[in-house]
Amino acid sequence: MGERWRKLPMWQRLLAPAAGIVFLYYLPYLAIPGLEYVRTDFAEAGSNWSGVLFTCAVYALVAIGLNVVVGLAGLLDLGYVGFFAIGAYTVGLFGSVESPVVKMIQRTFDLPETWALAWGLCIPLAIALTMISGVILGGPTLRLRGDYLAIVTMGFGEIIRIVARNSEWTGGPQGISAIPGPEGPPSQDNVVFGLIDPTPWYWLAITVALLLVVATRRLEHSRVGRSWLAVREDEDAAAVMGVQGFKYKLWAFAIGACLGGMSGALFASRQTFIDPTNFGLALSITFVAMVVLGGAGNMFGVAFGAVLLTYLPERFRELQDWRPFAVGVAIVIVMIFKPAGLIPSRRRARELKDRAEEAVAANV
């Protein structure tokens, strides 16, 4: 399959993704006979189809960001939800007129009560803040390896959530409401990005996701990306070859974090309301599960994993009580039979095969 694909002429290889992208944008109106049953609103007590698509797109973006950290650089980050939360809270705290931070700024600078930072400024701010927090977390902790890193990042995620719950300036357990979207604070006047129809939201999310896919892909094939792979395979060998492991690991953390922040910001804008319960450890673990289940290291794989784990529970709502059970069983089965994930990265699949052969050789 892969070989034949690479032999096709250039225009055919460009046409297929183009068609795929057009199909992605068409999805909210999906009405092709036979495919209709894919829609979630066909299910009993089903939810809004475009809304589900939006969530899928946001989580795919999360998975692509986490893939940089886990799949490419090989750093196990169990606190990724922390970055997602920082992105969401940045838009909330600086963009909403209800937020304590905005109110404080209004008082200090004598601004009118309707003043708040515009959405267009909140997004770059969210990205900047998450990137900084990625560096702050990575700086002291990236010297740790493997499982130690996992527990420290998990602690980081929990710290973010508990700080959000217990501080007054984040709204505490009540959270923040009236989070703005591209058209400003949520209200009846928002024609395009309103509360009723999530289709434009989905298009926005999918556009952002596609742009960042291209950007991440370029990064993956650059000098930085190759350094990540080298560090993932063998940090000591990479260091001998002159790769500065720490520097590139920090880069991976910062870039992964800013993708997480971007998706968190989108999520908060669409929801218009967030509170600390949105950012629990279970979500963080689901993120890692998306990446590994889909195929760590392969961008299509992780996006597929994210969509699967978001979409299937929504489509099969009538089996509500069985959902988590089924997901658990599915994870175990996939991992045992396909340890490299459903759509594995070619390089990683080869590595895993090598390891399996070594194991057989060692047991003889």
Partner 1 sequence: MNFDQLFAHIGQHTLDGLSKGAIYALIALGYTLVYGVLRLINFAHSEVFMVGTFAVLGTWTALGVTGTSSVTMILVYCVAGLIAGALASGGTALAVERIAYRPLRKKNAPSLVFLITAIGVSTVLMEIFGWVLVWLNRDVMGRDPKPFGRLIAGVPTVVEQKVLFKVGDAEVTNIMVIVIVAAIAMMIGLDIFINRTRLGRGVRAVAQNPDTAALMGVNKDRVIMLVFVLGGIMAGGAAMLYNLKLGTTKFDVGFLLGIKAFTAAVLGGIGNLRGALLGGLLLGVVEVYAATLTQSNWEDVAAFVVLVVVLMFRPTGLLGESLGRARA
Residue 31 carries which DSSP code?
A: -
CA atoms of 88 and 217, how far apart (whole Å): 25
CA atoms of 156 and 83, how far apart (whole Å): 10
Binding test (CB under 8 A) with partner 1, winner from 211, 324, 346, 350: 324
212 contributes a contact to partner 1 by CB under 8 A: no
CA atoms of 296 and 274, how far apart (whole Å): 29
Least gap, CB of 140 to partner 1 (angstroms): 5
Least gap, CB of 158 to partner 1 (angstroms): 6
Query: Which 3 state secondary structure label does DSSP give 274?
Result: strand
Residue type (1 letter), 251? W
Residue type (1 letter), 297? G
247 contributes a contact to partner 1 by CB under 8 A: no
Nearer to partner 1 by Cβ, of 30 and 329: the residue is 329
Nearer to partner 1 by Cβ, of 51 and 79: the residue is 79
Least gap, CB of 82 to partner 1 (angstroms): 11
Are the C-beta atoms of 28 and 53 separated by less than 8 Å? yes
Binding test (CB under 8 A) with partner 1, winner from 144, 178, 219, 342: 144
Task: Give the DSSP H or E segment for 143.
Answer: none
148 contributes a contact to partner 1 by CB under 8 A: yes
CA atoms of 101 and 170, how far apart (whole Å): 8
Angle 199-220/223-233 helices, nearest 10 degrees? 80
312 contributes a contact to partner 1 by CB under 8 A: no
355 contributes a contact to partner 1 by CB under 8 A: yes
| Window 41 to 70, contacts with partner 1 (CB under 8 A) | 70
CA atoms of 37 and 24, how far apart (whole Å): 17
325 contributes a contact to partner 1 by CB under 8 A: yes
Q: Which of the ranges 84-92, 221-229, 306-314, 320-328 carries the binding residues for partner 1, by CB under 8 A?
A: 320-328
352 contributes a contact to partner 1 by CB under 8 A: yes
* Cα separations in angstroms, 322 against 194, 313, 325, 327: 34, 10, 5, 9
342 contributes a contact to partner 1 by CB under 8 A: no
**Residues lying near partner 1 in the complex (CB under 8 A):** 70, 76, 140-141, 143-144, 146-148, 150-152, 154-156, 158-159, 162-163, 166, 281, 285, 288-289, 292-293, 296, 321, 324-325, 327-332, 335-336, 339, 352, 355-356, 358-359, 362-363
